[in-house]
A and B are shown apart, each in its own frame.
Chain A
Amino acid sequence: MSNQNRTIYGGKVNREKPINFVFNGKSYIGYQGDTLASALLANDVHLIGRSFKYHRARGILTAGSEEPNAIVQLGLGARTEPNIRATEVELYEGLEASSQNCWPSVNFDIGAMNNFLSRIFPAGFYYKTFKWPPSMWLFYEHFIRKAAGLGQSPTAKNPDRYEQKFYYTDITIVGGGISGLLAALGAGRSGCKVLLIDENPELGGYLLDYNFSINEKDGKKWLKKIIEELDGLANVTILKRTTAMGYYDYNYLTALEKVTNHHVEFSNTLPRERYWRIRSKKVILAQGAFERPLVFADNDRPGIMMASAGQKYLSRYGVLPGKSVVLFTNNDHAYLTAFEFVEKGAKVTVVDTRDLLNARISEKCKLLNIKVFKSYSVIKTYGDKKVNRIEIQQVDKNQNQLTGEVENIHTDCVLMSGGWNPAVQLFSQSRGKLKYDLKINTFVPDKIIENQKIIGSNNGQFNLQENLNESFEAGIAAANELNFNSVEKVNWTGKEEIEFTHSDVEPYMLGKKKVTKGSKHFIDFQNDVTAADIFLAQREGYISVEHTKRYTTTGMGTDQGKTSNVNALALMSHIHNKPVDEIGHTTFRPPYAPQTIGAIAGRSVDKLFDPVRKTSIHEWHVENKAVFEDVGQWKRPYYFPQNKEDIHQAVKRECLAVRNSLGILDASTLGKIDLQGPDAAKFLNMIYTNAWSKLEIGSCRYGLMCNEHGMIFDDGVTSRLGENHYHMTTTTGGAARVMSWLEEFLQTEWLDMKVFCTSVTEQWAVLSISGPNSRKFLEDLTNIDLSKENFPFMKFREGEVCGVKARIFRISFTGELSYEVNVPARYGRYVWEKFMEHGKKYNITPYGTETMHVLRAEKGFIIVGQDTDGSVTPSDMNMDWIVSKKKEDFLGKRSYTRSDTVRHDRKKFVGLLVNDKKTILPEGSHIVEKALKQPPMKMLGHITSSYYSPTLGYPIALAMLKDGISKMGEQVVVPLMNGKIIEATVTDTIFYDKEGKRNNE
């Protein structure tokens, strides 16, 4: 039998459109417009899953985003998703879902044993045990971990796509219930740009499920008209299926839109979800309220649900969740649901905690044959996988006790209503302050911080009539405050059959003793937190709300306490006999509801995770089989293997080519900053350790930049192009850091300096040619006079190269005669190809970063970030010559007189030659005072760079060594992790061409 709980008529599902779906391997039929929860209830499936800790049978508690119980594993394979609320999933053809946290099946779940052992598992039990022996914790933990968790993570890459959107608007309204709609109308008619967000597929909120009248006519028709008008307003944007998630400072909201989640097919054109980031001048919160559960023994059985959920299943989906229904309430409004159920053929009994009943309600109950137990409470429920019987007992409010006979009622569905809690989560995220309202016994908004309004039941106002006019006027007022013209006010008269009344939060305190003894009164359903746990926490001193929360885990489930928080706080207030206000509440943090990680990542995945920066010559490198290295975001050729060479063979060939004839390196990634302004030289004097005032136009100078502690943080050559014009180069990886460093000082410290810094890294392609034949080679291609006399080392010239305007810097990082040819980036590849062609006769050899590293190491040139590490001074690198003694001030200067910086035994930069002339020391291995069989060993320094030198035919290494300069020629030992001990001799750092002749040729 299918859809046995579906009413004969009624509801808004499309009965013409059946939809097939599978739950726990069984096929069912629902209708278009169903949620998974309504379709399951229609098919009389009540057992949905097992609870977190005790594996109790759980069903469907609510009909919305606050659902703690009915969470399922949705979808299969790479598209599977854990912990999905069945109450929110719109049914689509072929949907497959299954229960979570149960084995082998939800019906027969081994884990349910926990329920019988539950007495030794109170809140925080794990803090008290599993401590012995300490080595066993990982073992115990293995089982705890297996038992915990809810659904399963997918184990394949997510095939779906997520988009992000930035949005700017005058007013954002969160919540498309009657308050939100009318506020949108008020603001919309005023001409404001309005964004209206609602998490449901349909606007209308709570009123969609209840009967009401406007101006004594059918309210539903009126509602439809309002929505139609909003749809027609060009300045109003409506987002359905969109949940506002985060409320950050200055009215910055984030929201997650479900775009295709409810479709069968996964669209190739549309993303699955869209993440909205919204800035608005004003925010109106109209999120409504959640109905509050009542707390009684075994209030968690399948078949027990919120009254408003029962109402929604019946009126919206045409599903009657039970035939013999008990309504357990502490307020008037829930009687509407009782009437509705009777009308649709159920037998209803009411258990009301109050002794006085509104006469109209009493009468109607009589009329409908509804038996009302006044001043009664449900005290226990029975039923294995679904509720089948309850016990009730009379309440003596004065004595705060249960009295009289326990009576039994047989039932297949319990509807409960404990009053309503405004959905204050977003308000609270926006730093709004809450106060406890004693009339409706819940937290309501008090003080607003942001430019914001909060209206309707979200603001604790539950009266329809008042909400109608106030909401509309709030919309107009908001527009007004943003200088839009007022529109006419409208007076509607709205009426519900039964108005909201106040409600208490007391039933669980009835029979206080019983609460802690054995039976379970659930406060937080998902995390299996009972009233007894709250008592225990108080007893053990976890009295602050945050301690209670953390100790018991109440409010920490995937529903983030939407159904449990207020009850927990009220119980604490009861235990301590203090007003709830004094108990306080925990902080609400983003997100409002769990949000897809992939959607937050958006398009920053795969290839777009981080931009890949390529030089204008990059494609040539690809075509010529370069192996690449990531240097920051850049891809740089690492080496260019030929004919199956490995890295060592390739690097050897490349090195020798440079030393013997001609090599070419794509150095375009070097950071380049154009400095202009009358104070540029003064600025350089402050930024670099050496002096810049006397640098002539057309000259280049090497500089070290240090931080305030005097530690080296970048280096490079800066050249003077004109009177007030300099070209600075930085390391590839440090370019952005240097740029912000310069800007920071210009913008925060030296405001009087007139200097502009412009990053020109990507404007120039840099072709660095190096080797004894480089002058001969370049002479043929340029109109610049390259003669030694006219263009000496450390000079710069402008002219043409291969017919392209170029800047040539005669600087060298290899120790060979070198020219760094800068051409506008768009000519980079052209000039490179010309070079390759013309260079054939010199066997021009492209080389990569590894060869560059080897060549510079042979010369003892440092690489900042490899040989230095942010803890070394220029002096540590034997570069005292670059620190001006005369300059009044520069960054780092004051630090050179600090006692630790002038210490004599600091680590110094040295060279190392291994004694066996064979072993290449691992970069990062350490020199120790004495090699021992086993660590610990006292360390004296570490190897910063280490290579086989093709030029010399043996390995060379650079190292930082304690008091290294005075250890020249001494023997040191380097123990390796594999137990080997390598012996080496300390040398200076220049291994090749010590006199520096070659680059001065």
Chain B
Amino acid sequence: MKYSLYNLVKNSFSYHENWEKAWSSPDLKPEYDVVIVGGGGHGLGTAYYLAKEFGVKNIAVLEKGWIGGGNTGRNTTIIRSNYLWDESAALYNHAVNLWEGLSSELNFNVMFSQRGLFHLAHSVHDMQEITRRGYSNYLNGIDAEILNQDQVAKKIPHINVNGRYPVLGALLQRRAGTARHDAVAWGYARAAENLGVDIIQNCEVKGIDISNGKVVGLQTTKGSVKVDKVGLVPAGHSSVLANMAGFSLPINSVPLQALVSEPVKPILDCVIMSNSVHVYVSQSDKGELVVGAGSDAYNSYSQRGSFDMIEHMMAPLVELFPIFSRLKMLRSWGGIVDVTPDRSPIIGKTPVKDLFINCGWGTGGFKATPGSAHVFAETVFRGEPNDIAAPFSLERHFSGALVDEAAAAAVAH
């Protein structure tokens, strides 16, 4: 049933008892053309585009827990495309373009809210960084405005521009913003299922069967399955899956935490990121401040972080917004992020034939979800990456052709 105001009103007469399942829970079939491992936004989206744009019929998404339960449902939902390097700009901007039509495309409101994002600059060096990135964005056709201190103070009520590290300026991307994370997983799942994709939860992949260098099947907690092609999209557990297939990845898995405050009436209507003071914050539609910062120092798969990271989020938050000091932290949580040496993702082929991987999104892949899924679907379908995906091959870690966003801009998320 189509989601619309009309149907909402209509269904209210039957007490909403006639809505269909957004997605069902079919049994695992013995054989698939394509299996996607990992039911996060990237995996579900890949399945959706494979079915929708490439007409693949027999697809399954295997998720070891509940869909969206990985980083997709744990992130601070910042979406932007103002990356420094051309390669990243192309990839993330492809995503932002898709974000803009995603609610209609999926017939599911993912609440993509382009409320604008400010990267604050606190030193001469920061100003140089945002200017360079702003120029690079501008020349790549990505919206960028470089603001001075007065403009920042005017545009962001209540910000403290005269703190220990004064705000000297900011890089503003108006097309940036946030979206509702769960809705992205659910929307893709529902739309994918409508196209015949099997979404199978509580199904963990435990082994990868390879014959003559080609992937042929998967061992799962729900039995084994034959496959023609496999796309691995397991985020924090990428190295674990790669191990099963006999290769290793240049990835560290570390906890990244985030938290929300109690909900309050609207007080902050844009997204703020500061690298030097190190915190980022936005206010959700529910009214909660959504806050994040750096990742934990130790590798882990535990989805738990340590408290000092929380302290290191709260002090910068109060420094930038002294008015938030009396608000209360309501809930904190952690996700396991897969970090590559250059902080750019790995999309493409693996040493195993017909086994593809999309991972390494680390602390900042939510924003890429539709773009990543879209280019990865094409990669899986054609067996070769397209122009946008090509620079992000696993191979670059051997050739040295890194897309080093970390080094140059040191901006994560």
Q: How far is the CB of B314 from chain A (nearest CB, A)?
A: 4
A597 close to B104 (CB less than 8 A):
no
Residues of A within 8 A of B285 (CB): 141, 144-145, 148
How does the 8 Å CB contact mask read for B116-131 relative to A, with 1 for contact and 0 for none? Answer: 0000001111001111
B146 close to A977 (CB less than 8 A):
yes
Q: A803–B17 Cα gap in the complex (Å)?
A: 92
Q: How far is the CB of A341 from chain B (nearest CB, A)?
A: 34
Q: A517–B401 Cα gap in the complex (Å)?
A: 61
A600 close to B311 (CB less than 8 A):
yes
Residues of A within 8 A of B125 (CB): 631, 733, 865-866
B104 close to A532 (CB less than 8 A):
no
Q: How far is the CB of A497 from chain B (nearest CB, A)?
A: 39
B158 close to A610 (CB less than 8 A):
no
Residues of B within 8 A of A547 (CB): 66, 68
Residues of B within 8 A of A145 (CB): 266, 269, 283, 285, 287
Contact residue among A149, A594, A926 (Cβ-Cβ distance under 8 Å from B139): A926
Q: List 26 A-B contacts (CB under 8 A).
A: A127-B186, A129-B3, A129-B8, A129-B109, A145-B285, A150-B264, A150-B265, A157-B323, A248-B306, A516-B17, A541-B21, A587-B333, A591-B332, A595-B329, A598-B326, A601-B317, A601-B318, A629-B123, A629-B124, A630-B122, A900-B399, A923-B132, A924-B129, A935-B139, A935-B140, A942-B132
Binds B, one of A118-126, A198-206, A415-423, A811-819: A118-126
Residues of B within 8 A of A677 (CB): none
Contact residue among A597, A898, A977 (Cβ-Cβ distance under 8 Å from B135): A977
Given contacts A130-B5, A153-B323, A246-B307, 4 further A-B contacts (CB under 8 A): A126-B109, A156-B323, A541-B22, A926-B132
Contact residue among A149, A156, A248 (Cβ-Cβ distance under 8 Å from B263): A149
A589 close to B123 (CB less than 8 A):
no
Q: DSSP class of A's interface residues: helix, strand, loop or mixed? A: loop
9 A-B pairs with the lowest CB-CB distances in the bound complex, closest first = A870-B407, A149-B287, A924-B131, A598-B325, A924-B132, A898-B400, A594-B328, A158-B325, A541-B21
Residues of B within 8 A of A600 (CB): 310-311, 314-315, 329
Question: For residue A594, which residue of chain B has the nearest CB?
Answer: B328
Question: For residue B324, which residue of chain A has the nearest CB?
Answer: A597
Instruction: Check A404 for interface membership: any CB of B closer than 8 A.
Output: no
Number of interface residues of A (CB under 8 A): 113
Q: A81–B161 Cα gap in the complex (Å)?
A: 24
Q: How far is the CB of A58 from chain B (nearest CB, A)?
A: 15
Question: For residue A253, which residue of chain B has the nearest CB?
Answer: B307
Instruction: Check A154 for interface membership: any CB of B closer than 8 A.
Output: yes
A594 close to B329 (CB less than 8 A):
yes
How does the 8 Å CB contact mask read for A565-582 relative to B, with 1 for contact and 0 for none? Answer: 000000000000000000
A127 close to B401 (CB less than 8 A):
no
Within 8 A of A (CB), among B367-413: 396, 398-402, 404, 406-408
A541 close to B111 (CB less than 8 A):
no
Residues of A within 8 A of B265 (CB): 146, 149-153
A134 close to B100 (CB less than 8 A):
yes
How does the 8 Å CB contact mask read for A851-893 relative to B, with 1 for contact and 0 for none? Answer: 0000000000000011001110000000000000000000000
A132 close to B3 (CB less than 8 A):
no
Instruction: Check A607 for interface membership: any CB of B closer than 8 A.
Output: yes
Instruction: Check A439 for interface membership: any CB of B closer than 8 A.
Output: no
Residues of B within 8 A of A151 (CB): 264-265
Residues of B within 8 A of A553 (CB): 286
Instruction: Check A995 for interface membership: any CB of B closer than 8 A.
Output: no
Within 8 A of A (CB), among B285-334: 285-287, 304, 306-307, 310-311, 314-319, 322-333
Residues of A within 8 A of B263 (CB): 52, 83, 148-150, 558
Question: For residue A533, which residue of chain B has the nearest CB?
Answer: B16
A901 and B327 contact, Cβ closer than 8 Å, known pairs A600-B310, A609-B163: no
A128 and B3 contact, Cβ closer than 8 Å, known pairs A134-B104, A935-B138: yes
Q: How far is the CB of B253 from chain A (nearest CB, A)?
A: 17
A610 close to B165 (CB less than 8 A):
yes
Residues of A within 8 A of B12 (CB): 119-120, 122
Residues of B within 8 A of A609 (CB): 163-164, 315-316, 319
Question: For residue A429, which residue of chain B has the nearest CB?
Answer: B304
B315 close to A130 (CB less than 8 A):
no
Which one of B100, B131, B133, B141 has the highest number of Cβ atoms from chain A below 10 Å of its Cβ?
B131
Q: A602–B123 Cα gap in the complex (Å)?
A: 25
B139 close to A153 (CB less than 8 A):
no
Instruction: Check B32 for interface membership: any CB of A closer than 8 A.
Output: no
Residues of B within 8 A of A539 (CB): 17, 19, 21
Question: For residue A158, which residue of chain B has the nearest CB?
Answer: B325
A924 close to B134 (CB less than 8 A):
yes
Q: A45–B129 Cα gap in the complex (Å)?
A: 58
Q: How far is the CB of B210 from chain A (nearest CB, A)?
A: 28
B114 close to A82 (CB less than 8 A):
no
Q: How far is the CB of B43 from chain A (nearest CB, A)?
A: 16
Residues of B within 8 A of A756 (CB): none
Residues of B within 8 A of A188 (CB): none
How does the 8 Å CB contact mask read for B1-32 relative to A, with 1 for contact and 0 for none? Answer: 00111011100100111011111110000000
Instruction: Check A954 for interface membership: any CB of B closer than 8 A.
Output: no
Residues of A within 8 A of B146 (CB): 977
Instruction: Check A590 for interface membership: any CB of B closer than 8 A.
Output: yes
Residues of B within 8 A of A127 (CB): 3, 108-109, 180, 183, 186-187
Q: A610–B311 Cα gap in the complex (Å)?
A: 13
Within 8 A of B (CB), among A672-708: 708
Residues of B within 8 A of A130 (CB): 5, 109
How does the 8 Å CB contact mask read for A460-491 relative to B, with 1 for contact and 0 for none? Answer: 00000000000000000000000000000000
A936 close to B139 (CB less than 8 A):
yes
B318 close to A596 (CB less than 8 A):
no
Contact residue among B3, B22, B68, B408 (Cβ-Cβ distance under 8 Å from A870): B408
Instruction: Check A802 for interface membership: any CB of B closer than 8 A.
Output: no
Q: How far is the CB of B299 from chain A (nearest CB, A)?
A: 13
A134 and B140 contact, Cβ closer than 8 Å, known pairs A597-B328, A869-B407: no
Q: A250–B116 Cα gap in the complex (Å)?
A: 41
Residues of A within 8 A of B149 (CB): none
Within 8 A of B (CB), among A584-623: 587, 589-591, 594-598, 600-602, 604-607, 609-610, 612
Within 8 A of B (CB), among A628-654: 629-631, 638
A516 and B15 contact, Cβ closer than 8 Å, known pairs A137-B113, A156-B323, A594-B329: yes
Which one of A130, A134, A246 has the highest number of Cβ atoms from chain B below 10 Å of its Cβ?
A134
Q: A605–B318 Cα gap in the complex (Å)?
A: 7
Q: A452–B32 Cα gap in the complex (Å)?
A: 48
Q: How far is the CB of A372 from chain B (nearest CB, A)?
A: 34
Question: For residue A539, which residue of chain B has the nearest CB?
Answer: B19
Instruction: Check B150 for interface membership: any CB of A closer than 8 A.
Output: no
Residues of A within 8 A of B267 (CB): 152-153, 155
A589 close to B332 (CB less than 8 A):
yes
Which one of B146, B165, B269, B304 has the highest number of Cβ atoms from chain A below 10 Å of its Cβ?
B304
A158 close to B264 (CB less than 8 A):
no
Q: How far is the CB of B310 from chain A (nearest CB, A)?
A: 6
Instruction: Check A755 for interface membership: any CB of B closer than 8 A.
Output: no
Residues of B within 8 A of A174 (CB): none
B266 close to A149 (CB less than 8 A):
yes
Instruction: Check A414 for interface membership: any CB of B closer than 8 A.
Output: no
Q: A550–B134 Cα gap in the complex (Å)?
A: 37
B404 close to A871 (CB less than 8 A):
yes
B323 close to A536 (CB less than 8 A):
no
Instruction: Check A540 for interface membership: any CB of B closer than 8 A.
Output: yes
Q: A751–B327 Cα gap in the complex (Å)?
A: 48
B139 close to A540 (CB less than 8 A):
no
Question: For residue A132, which residue of chain B has the nearest CB?
Answer: B104
Within 8 A of A (CB), among B331-369: 331-333, 341
Q: How far is the CB of A150 from chain B (nearest CB, A)?
A: 5
Q: A532–B263 Cα gap in the complex (Å)?
A: 24
Contact residue among A122, A541, A866, A937 (Cβ-Cβ distance under 8 Å from B23): A541
Instruction: Check B112 for interface membership: any CB of A closer than 8 A.
Output: yes
Contact residue among B123, B183, B325, B401 (Cβ-Cβ distance under 8 Å from A631): B123
